[in-house]
Amino acid sequence: YNSPMVLMYSGIGWEKHLNEVGIDCKVNLRGVGENLQDHLLV
């Protein structure tokens, strides 16, 4: 739960987005947090 948010707060994610919110990028991974969908049964 909230795995993308934890990763991004840890500095893992797309450097452009992390820098926009003042988080130092440690690993530049563009796909973190993209294309998330709710499960059909939710």
Mean pLDDT of 15-26: 96
Pick the residue with more confidence: 40 or 30? 30
Q: Which of 4-8, 15-19, 34-38 has the lowest mean pLDDT?
A: 34-38
| Residue 1, pLDDT above cutoff 80 | no
Mean pLDDT of 30-35: 85
Domain locations along the chain = 1-34
Nearest to 3 by CA among 33, 31, 29: 33
pLDDT mean across residues, the chain? 88
Q: Read off the pTM.
A: 0.75
